[in-house]
Amino acid sequence: MRHLIRKCPKCASYTLKYSCEKCKVPTIDAHPAKYSPDDKYARYRIADRYIQSEEVSDSEPLKVDHENSL
C-alpha cells in the first residue's frame, strides 16, 4: 500500500510531495513499516534508516583535528 503523506527529515514538516517545498530535501514516508516478529529484513531497514540519518547530519561539517589523528 502506498502512503500519501510524507515528512521532511530536515525541517520535520509534512507534505504530499516527494521533495520539501521549504528546504528542497527529498521527503520520506511518514508511516512506520509493518512490524512482524518473523521479519527477515529488519536489519537492512534499520541500517538504511541509520544511513539516512547520517546524510541529514552531514549537512553540518565536522571539525577534524589533523594533528591528533592517526
Q: Is the pLDDT of residue 34 over 80?
A: no
- The overall pTM is greater than 0.85: no
Query: What does the pLDDT look like over 48-60, one tens digit per residue?
Result: 877 777 665 555 5
Question: Structurally, how many domains does the chain consist of?
Answer: 1
Domain that holds residue 18: 6-56
Q: Collect all residues with Cβ–Cβ distance below 8 Å to 25 and sequence separation of at least 6.
A: 8, 9, 10, 11, 19, 56
Interval 37-58 mean pLDDT: 76
Mean pLDDT across the chain = 78
Question: Is pLDDT at 29 greater than 60 in this prediction?
Answer: yes
So what's the pLDDT on residue 63? 58
- What pLDDT score was predicted for residue 20? 92
In a domain, 65, yes or no: no
Look at residue 1 and tell me if it is in a domain.
no
- Supply the CATH number for residue 31's domain: 2.20.28.40
